[in-house]
Amino acid sequence: MPRGPRLLIDDACYHVYIRGNHKQSIFKETQDYENYLLRLKKYKSKYGFMLYGYCLMPTHPHLAGEIKNSKDLSLFMHDLNRSYTAFFNAKYKQVGYLWQGRFNSRVITKDRYLIDCINYIELNPVRAGLVNSPIEYPYSSYKERVFGVDKKYSMLDDMLI
């Protein structure tokens, strides 16, 4: 059964995520995570995606952010996912799909729910048993958001709630 149309609202916040095809690992080495973060930084700037939180799990990324023009959300995710797929397939000598279908997006209100959503995203590695504390996980926005740690990939935007 086909999916219905995506709910798109201008100037809205979204929780965006997409899983690797067949739940495969899409980030296998440090270089993979770093490459995705560089691409995320590039395309968030290109499309004006205001990034408030993220976490790259081995099988899927989570993003929380806001976009002025709702139609740009699909373009942003298309370019980000397509370019990372090209990198991944070339590196691992694979062909075909990396992602399991289209990305998922949920509109989130810019209030306490946005903060709760970002906390949910950043606690994923703890719930998955990868680390004991979110501060230990290097591929999330937790350190930058909570402690203001200037990281190599510093890219969070200020939230105006």
Rounded to an integer, what distance in angstroms lies between the CA atom of residue 74 and that of residue 55?
19
CATH code of domain 12-147: 3.30.70.1290
Rounded to an integer, what distance in angstroms lies between the CA atom of residue 33 and that of residue 27?
6
What are 152's two structure tokens?
């190599």
Rounded to an integer, what distance in angstroms lies between the CA atom of residue 7 and that of residue 97?
25
Q: Can you give the pTM of this predicted structure?
A: 0.90
Rounded to an integer, what distance in angstroms lies between the CA atom of residue 98 and that of residue 50?
25
Q: Quick one: DSSP state of residue 98?
A: -
pLDDT in tens, the chain (161 residues): 455 566 677 788 999 999 999 889 999 999 999 999 999 999 999 999 999 999 999 999 999 999 988 889 999 999 999 999 999 999 999 998 999 888 888 888 878 889 999 999 999 999 999 999 999 999 999 999 988 876 666 889 887 65
The domain spans of the chain are 12-147
